[in-house]
Amino acid sequence: MASTISADALALQRMYHWEKTIPDRVALTQPQGGGAVRDYTWRQLMDEARRMAAHLQSQGFEKGARIALLSKNTAHWMMADFAIWMAGYVSVPLYPTLAQGTIRQILQHSGARLLFVGKLDGWAGMKPGVPAGLPCISLPLAPDDAVKSYTSWDSIVAKTEPLKGNPVRDGGDLSTIMYTSGTTGAPKGVMHSFETFAWGVQSGLKRVTAIDQNARMLSYLPLSHVAERALVEHGMLATGMHVFFAESLDTFTSDLQRARPTVFFSVPRLWVKFQQGINHKMPPAKLDRLLKIPILKGIVRKKILTALGLQDCVFAAGGAAPMPPELLRWYNKLGLDLVEVYGMTENCGVSHATLPGKQRPGTVGLPYDGVQCRLDPANSEIQMKAPCLMLGYYLEPELTRQAFTEDGWLHTGDKGALDAEGNLKITGRVKDLFKTSKGKYVAPAPIEDRLVMNEHVEACCVTGANLGQPLGLVMLNPDASKKSRSAEGKAEIDASLTAHLKHVNETLDPHEQLDCIVVMTEPWTVDNDLITPTFKVKRNRIEELFANHYERWTGMRKPVVWNA
Give pLDDT tens digits for 116-132. 999 999 999 999 999 99
How many Cα atoms occupy the beta-carbon half-sphere of 532 within 13 Å? 20
Q: Are the CB atoms for 238 and 210 separated by under 8 Å?
A: no
Residue 1 has pLDDT above 60, yes or no: no
298 has pLDDT over 70:
yes
Q: Where do runs of H (alpha helix) occur along 380-486?
A: 397-403, 444-451, 478-483
pLDDT at site 541: 87
User: What percent of the chain clears pLDDT 70, i.e. is strictly above it?
Assistant: 98
pLDDT digits (tens, 9 = 90+) for 36-90: 999 999 999 999 999 999 999 999 999 999 999 999 999 999 999 999 999 999 9
End-to-end CA distance of the chain: 54
Considering only residues 495 and 326, tell me which one the structure prediction assigns the higher pLDDT.
Answer: 495
Report the alpha-carbon distance of residue 460 to residue 452 in Å, rounded.
6
pLDDT given for residue 408 in this prediction:
96
Among 472, 441, 478, 475, residue whose Cα is nearest residue 560: 472
**pLDDT range class, residue 432, cuts 50, 70, 90:** confident
Q: Mean pLDDT over residues 407-416, rounded?
A: 95
Q: Looking at residue 354, what is its pLDDT?
A: 93
Region of poorest pLDDT, from 149-153, 257-261, 441-445:
441-445
What is the reported pLDDT for 303? 95
Residue 184 banded pLDDT, cuts 50, 70, 90: low
Q: Is the dihedral of CA 348, 354, 360, 366 positive or negative?
A: negative
Report whether pLDDT(296) > 60: yes
Return d(Cα 149, Cα 136) in angstroms, integer.
Answer: 9
pLDDT cut 90: percent of the chain above it: 78
Asked whether residue 548 carries a pLDDT value surpassing 80, the answer given is yes
For residue 278, pLDDT beyond 60: yes
Alpha helix ranges (H) inside 6-99: 11-21, 42-58, 75-87
Angle formed at CA 378 by CA 376 and CA 379, multiple of 5 degrees: 75
pLDDT tens for each residue of 351-387: 999 998 888 888 999 999 999 999 999 999 999 999 9
Q: Classify residue 122 by its DSSP letter.
A: -
Q: Look at residue 369 in the predicted model and tell me its pLDDT.
A: 95
User: pLDDT at position 183, please?
Assistant: 58
Q: How many Å apart are CA 8 and CA 363, to the nearest integer?
A: 35
Mean pLDDT of 142-149: 97
Q: Domains, the chain, ranges and CATH?
A: 7-209 (3.40.50.12780), 263-311+314-429 (3.40.50.12780), 434-563 (3.30.300.30)
| Confidence band for 138, pLDDT divided at 50, 70 and 90 | very high
pLDDT (0 to 100) of residue 209? 85
- 6-10, 213-217, 245-249, 273-277: the lowest-pLDDT one: 273-277
Question: Is 70 exceeded by the pLDDT of residue 560?
Answer: yes
Angle CA 100–136–245, to nearest 5: 80
Where does the pLDDT of residue 177 fall: very low under 50, low under 70, confident under 90, or very high at 90 and above? very high
What pLDDT score was predicted for residue 185? 65
The three-state secondary structure class of 116 is: strand
425 pairs with which residues across the strands?
Answer: 417
What pLDDT was estimated at residue 515? 95
Question: Looking at residue 510, what is its pLDDT?
Answer: 83
CA distance 457 to 507: 19
Higher-confidence residue: 322 or 542? 542
Residue-averaged pLDDT of the chain:
93
500-543, pLDDT tens digit by residue? 999 999 988 888 899 999 999 889 988 888 888 877 888 888 88
Residue 3: pLDDT band (50, 70, 90) is low
pLDDT score at 41: 98
E strands, 118-269, in order = 136-138, 151-152, 174-179, 189-193, 216-219, 242-245, 263-266
